[in-house]
Amino acid sequence: MNNTPKHWHHLPPDEVSVLLESDVTQGLEPLEITRRQEHFGFNRLTPKKGKSPLVLFLLQFHQPLVYILLAAAVITFALQEWVDSGVIFGVVLINAIIGYIEESKALKAIEALARTLDGAATVIRAGKKQKIAAAELVPGDLVLLQSGDRVPADLRLLQIRELHIDESALTGESVPTHKQIEQLSLETVLADRSNMAYSSTLVTYGTATGIVVATGDDTEIGHINTLIASADVLATPLTRKINHFSKILLWVILVLAGLTFLAGRLHGESLLDSFMASVALAVGAIPEGLPAAMTIMLAIGVNKMAHRHAIIRKMPAVETLGSTTIICSDKTGTITQNQMTVQHIYAGGKRYALFGTGYTPAGEITLDASKINPGTQPVLLECLKAGLLCNDSRLIQNDGQWLIEGDPTEGALIVAAAKAGLRQDVLERDFPRIDALPFESQHQYMATLHVLDTATALIYVKGSVESILARCETICGNDLQPQLLNKECIHQEVEAMAAQGLRILAFARKLQPASNQTVNHGDVAEGLCFLGLQAMMDPPRQEAIAAISACQKAGIQVKMITGDHAATAAAIARQIGLAGAVENKTEHFAVNGHTLAMLSDQELIKTAQQAVVFARVAPEQKLRLVEALQAKGHVVAMTGDGVNDAPALRQANIGVAMGLSGTEVAKEAADMVLTDDNFATIEAAVEEGRAVYDNLVKFITWTLPTNIGEGLLVFVAVFFGLTLPITPVQILWINMTTAVLLGLMLAFERKEPGIMARPPRQPEAPILTRELGFRIGLVGLMLLTGAFVFFEWALAQGKSIETARTLAVNMFVFGELFYLFNCRSLRYSMFKLGAFSNRWLLLGVTTMTLLQIFFTYSPTMNTLFGSAPLDMIEWGFILSGGLLVYGIVGIDKWLRRRAENGKDS
């Protein structure tokens, strides 16, 4: 016997047992089980062999910006500046530790998937029924299933009784699948293989016997495990841009440091002095605070999102959300409530509408948009009674939440009846059940026999429209009296409901003598009186509709990817406003998985761009769709809650899992978990992500002029053979203190006006625009000029070199301080945002001012940093220089706003 993959669903049960060399009544013998366990191994998923913890940790240092910082740490260590060297290395080490922890967490998805196979299985071996560990199963084992069991391996079903299996975690299908045992066509897609039971799915109703056809890695969930392992973990837009920026900065610093060294030697400086000048330039040009600022700003974003019900598992995901261009959303439980609800009832020639949400047994029933009293509509009540009594499920309340025990479709019927004031316990007492015919796929109906009075019994039947209409000869009128049945009229109503994506059940009844205490298929083969139709669907979340609208206004496309039927998915998509996303709503609106499977990669890329709804999609197709969208340069966010979503969640630029209904596998594969399972939280997270990115750009725009100014100051001084206006240790003081006390305060800036009214950033757009590049250069030039002019002026006045350098240092610090107020908004004046709206910034400015006074006047600081006290005239120069920076940048922003407004008009 071998376990060569077979199209098991396409084979009849007898042939399956022959191929697997198993007895369908006795099961496998002990010696054969031992042989197969040795051959196939245990029923467990094989974890992917990853990098060792040490390699994973060392890779955190493999970044250009980190190389620069490590160089700075080594250089300052060589200068015997132990504190500065320790601080810089500490920043690098903390960043590495955080990155290592986050990446380690991300790789736990496969471990979580393996845990879903844990548990027990009931089998028949050597003719005896026994319970074993699921890991001990082998192909050919006979497995018994009952309600509440988790399917332990992939099974071909041999015998069933009313078997319903919840496959939503695997296929995305929102309603438990009705199973049967007949062979299916070869082309049948995974979600429609009704004669199979797949590992990790849940039996919600009925019993069955199946034969194991695949275990461990060979199961469908094993294939998903392979997809998760092979999915790429993509760099975020921010990390890509920072890495690119760092590489450029690295080469610029090395070139300028080399030129500085050569210039020093050409001016006759010693090797040591020339080298120290190069060190000063390198230290000045390195933005030591950037990695720490990035980490802290992202951490603040994580904290803000947590308060808005979004838990971030990987910090760069905060920024990625802000640059998202497409959200691929699963339907079931994400956009919809995952609670089947009866929306319309057709009875007595009238169509009623039902209102209310989920399983809560409250809501109005209307006719022609007017609320009615159901007690005045006998045929409506009778239709609802049929749904309530011909029913094996229960509506229960647990911790204030209404839940269904049993089939969600039957649950919807119970809730609909409750809206008309009908109680299940009361009706079951008044009309006790005598007998029942359970639902069977070959008959497509369920029937129950009830006591009506001493002389009469009543049969209620529910099932598919085709099966019920074929057995009806009459229709119940408003007075419940039989009338001639017009089947064409019923079919027209069914077509209208089906066009809305509704699932439709038909109901009928039949009276018979009370002496007949049983019901069989012959009793319901003919002579039924048609009661009506109940049409239901898993309704969309109202808050999801508003969130999708907000995303579309923000220029973000929303696409629905689901395992559900195309008609149902398309109807939901239209309800939530996705229909307006394509011009040709017929050709490019919805595509099913069968069509996708036939497309080449290039055709798929085109279709992925155009279509909005992707239905009956297999797990590997979800992954292909995400890759197709990324191939066109999109930043893709993928939402989902099932095992089937995990590979795509991992491949997406940002994976978003549902915290309440999501599987552990999905949560581990995701970058972000929604604690309230609410699509609206994604819109809030996108808003926060954009704000975080804005603040990061503000920080970079603020910090780079200092680095440019300091680097050029050293270069110009050496090039012209002048004394260095600032020493390396003073440069470190400026960079480290201002980054923490001034720059980081930008992380607490509020969101800019209209942040969700602008389109997403282009994924390949640079961090800094030309406008910001000009501003950075302008401010850097002003800081360079001010520091150099003040330094030379002080020396010309006969001041000491320490005093002149203290002037230059304070020009940089207070120039940055005043420029910080410009950077609170890169477009508007700080007064538009509110001059005192960022209290943390005011605290930072105050602390920095006091620290600079300490730097200038403290004898200890004078000794450590080579500073000296300043008089009031010198402070006047410094403050005037800072105000000049603020004024010139403010005028530049005003002129640009005016030019933009002129273009708009």
What does the block give as tokens for 842? 């005011």
Q: Which of 258, 295, 305 has the alpha carbon at shortest distance from 279?
A: 258
Residue 141 is among the residues annotated as catalytic for this protein? no
Helix (H, G, I), strand (E, B) or coil at 534: strand
Residues with Cβ < 8 Å from 217, sequence gap 6 or more?
A: 45, 46, 225, 226
Report the amino acid identity of residue 769.
Answer: T
Choice among 141, 330, 538, 694 that is catalytic: 330
Strands 503-513, 528-537: parallel, antiparallel or unpaired by DSSP? antiparallel
Cβ atoms within 10 Å, residue 419: 19
What does the block give as tokens for 751? 């969101």
What does the block give as tokens for 730? 């003073």
* Interior/surface letters 252-286, b for 16+ CB within 10 angstroms, e for the rest: ebeebbeebbebbeeeebeeeebbbbbbbbbbbbb
Q: What is the 3-state secondary structure (H, E, C) of 708-760?
A: HHHHHHHHHHHHCCCCCCCCHHHHHHHHHHHHHHCHHHHHHCCCCCCCCCCCC
What value does the CA radius of gyration of the chain take, rounded to a whole number of Å?
36
CA 680 to chain centre: 12
Distance CA 833, CA 841 (A): 13
Report the amino acid identity of residue 743.
Answer: G
What percent helix, strand, coil does the chain show, rounded to 5? 50, 20, 30
Q: Which of 473, 385, 391, 467 has the alpha carbon at shortest distance from 422?
A: 385
365 — phi, psi (to 5°)?
-120, 130
For 748, counting Cβ atoms within 10 Å of its Cβ (0-12 exposed, 13-18 middle, 19+ buried), the class is middle
For 479, counting Cβ atoms within 10 Å of its Cβ (0-12 exposed, 13-18 middle, 19+ buried), the class is exposed
Q: Which of 634, 310, 694 has the alpha carbon at shortest distance from 626?
A: 634
What does the block give as tokens for 438? 């359970």
Are 169 and 201 in contact by the 8 Å Cβ rule? The answer is yes
Report the amino acid identity of residue 422.
Answer: L
Q: How many residues does the chain have?
A: 905
799 — phi, psi (to 5°)?
-75, 160
Are 321 and 665 in contact by the 8 Å Cβ rule? The answer is no
Distance CA 849, CA 708 (A): 22
For 187, counting Cβ atoms within 10 Å of its Cβ (0-12 exposed, 13-18 middle, 19+ buried), the class is exposed
Distance CA 449, CA 275 (A): 98
Stated as kind and residue range, the H or E segment containing 34 is helix 30-40
Distance CA 69, CA 92 (A): 7
**Torsion over CA of 630, 635, 640 and 644, rounded to 10 degrees?**
20
Report the amino acid identity of residue 225.
Answer: N
Q: Which residues are catalytic?
A: 330
